[in-house]
């Protein structure tokens, strides 16, 4: 079967169309809310709406495991981390968007983004971007078997990348701890010798 | 069979455009990070769409790795934001124009 024809003239049913447009409305309204709301907390809540919309479209495309991970990791962990930092820093007051230091930055940005998106869509309509061999890394296997297919792929074909992400996560965690600790000890008590500070910090962490 | 893949690709392109627009016009560093998340989600939607159209699990595995990288990026980025805020007590990108500590 011609893949381009599959893309263009796939037979669709009414529930699919309804789910797609509901997800698209969630995604677009949430995204516009993220960039227009002045309070960063409201932006984070709009981001949750967008992430849920993306999860809905993942389920619509039979990527069940990724939809669950999207909700748990993105909406559950990353947005909570955003909200924690916003409230920890106390920057949840309104940002004044009216004044901008660079004149004509905003209209220029709008013009550039509209040009880029329309050219992307035009290129996608022109080019044969979805033609290629099918099932190269294994089939998606549809509902109820998606997790097994994804697990086999990650632990065989992409095993090295999987191990590399483990190293990446460890490096990120260690880096975050180093960043937070160094600035904290530099600003709090500079006169006390460093060893005493670290011993106190270790005792405090042990109590937690 | 379900919705044609090109609809999803157009939606992902618009979502990416909104994210990049927010990255260009907002000045709060935290909101700029959220716009990066929007752009990553647009890329994820494209990966899953091509995974369905080509019947290939590789696109979904790629989304898995993008999720991990996004989590690491947020952790490191917010650590940097907290460190900057402790020194300068600001989260506005225009106020962090000097590299001198």
Helix (H, G, I), strand (E, B) or coil at A53: helix
Q: For residues A33 and A43, is the Cβ–Cβ distance under 8 A?
A: yes
CA distance A44 to A56: 19
Tell me how many residue pairs between chain A and chain B have CB atoms under 8 A apart.
266
Q: What's residue A198's pLDDT? A: 47
Q: What's residue B13's pLDDT? A: 93
Helix (H, G, I), strand (E, B) or coil at B28: strand
Q: What's residue A53's pLDDT? A: 95
CA distance A168 to A125: 37
Report the candidate in A110, A116, A119, A111 with the shortest Cα–Cα distance to residue A35: A110
CA distance A75 to A69: 9
In chain A, whose CA is at the least distance from the CA of B19? A31
ipTM of model over 0.95: no
CA distance B50 to A111: 29
In chain B, whose CA is at the least distance from the CA of A36? B22
Digitized pLDDT (tens) for each residue of chain B, 101 residues in all: 467 778 898 999 999 999 999 999 888 889 999 999 999 999 999 999 988 888 888 889 999 999 999 999 999 988 888 888 887 777 777 777 776 65
Residue with tokens 């060893």: A195
Residue with tokens 């003239």: A9
Digitized pLDDT (tens) for each residue of chain A, 208 residues in all: 444 444 444 556 888 889 999 999 999 999 999 999 988 999 999 999 999 999 999 999 888 899 999 999 988 889 999 999 888 887 766 666 556 667 788 888 899 999 999 998 888 777 766 666 777 767 766 666 788 888 888 999 899 999 999 999 999 999 888 887 754 455 444 444 444 444 444 444 443 3
Q: What's residue A9's pLDDT? A: 45
Could you tell me if B76 lies within 8 Å of chain A, comparing CB atoms?
yes
Beta bridge partners of B28: B92
Could you tell me if B88 lies within 8 Å of chain A, comparing CB atoms?
no
Residue with tokens 């999987």: A162
Instruction: Provide the angle, in degrees to the nearest 10, between the axes of the packed helices A159-187 and A146-156.
Output: 80
């Amino acid at each position: 079967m011609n893949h381009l024809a599959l893309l263009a003239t796939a037979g669709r049913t009414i529930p699919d169309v309804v789910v797609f447009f509901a997800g698209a409305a969630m995604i677009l309204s949430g995204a516009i809310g993220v960039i227009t709301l002045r309070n960063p907390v409201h932006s984070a809540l709009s981001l949750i709406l967008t992430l849920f919309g993306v999860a809905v479209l993942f389920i619509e495309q039979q990527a069940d495991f990724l939809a669950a991970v999207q909700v748990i990791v993105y909406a559950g962990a990353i947005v909570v981390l955003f909200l924690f930092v916003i409230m920890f820093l106390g920057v949840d007051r309104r940002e004044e968007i009216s004044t901008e230091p660079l004149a004509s930055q905003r209209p220029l940005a709008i013009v550039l983004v509209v040009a880029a998106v329309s050219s992307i869509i035009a290129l996608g309509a022109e080019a044969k971007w979805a033609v290629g061999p099918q099932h190269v890394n294994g089939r998606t296997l549809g509902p109820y078997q998606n997790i097994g297919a994804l697990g086999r792929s990650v632990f065989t074909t992409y095993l090295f990348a999987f191990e590399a992400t483990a190293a990446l996560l460890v490096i990120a965690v260690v880096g975050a701890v180093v960043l937070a600790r160094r600035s904290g000890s530099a600003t709090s008590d500079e006169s006390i010798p460093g060893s005493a500070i670290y011993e106190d910090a270790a005792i405090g962490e042990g109590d937690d | 069979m379900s919705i044609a893949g090109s609809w999803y690709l157009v939606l992902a392109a618009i979502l990416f455009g909104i994210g990049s627009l927010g990255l260009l016009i907002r000045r709060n560093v935290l909101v700029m990070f959220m716009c990066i998340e929007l752009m990553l989600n647009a890329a994820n939607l494209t990966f899953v769409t091509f995974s369905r159209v080509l019947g290939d699990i590789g696109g979904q595995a790629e989304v898995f790795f993008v999720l991990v990288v996004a989590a690491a990026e947020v952790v490191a980025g917010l650590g940097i934001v907290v460190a900057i805020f402790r020194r300068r007590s600001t989260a506005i990108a225009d106020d962090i124009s000097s590299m001198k500590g």
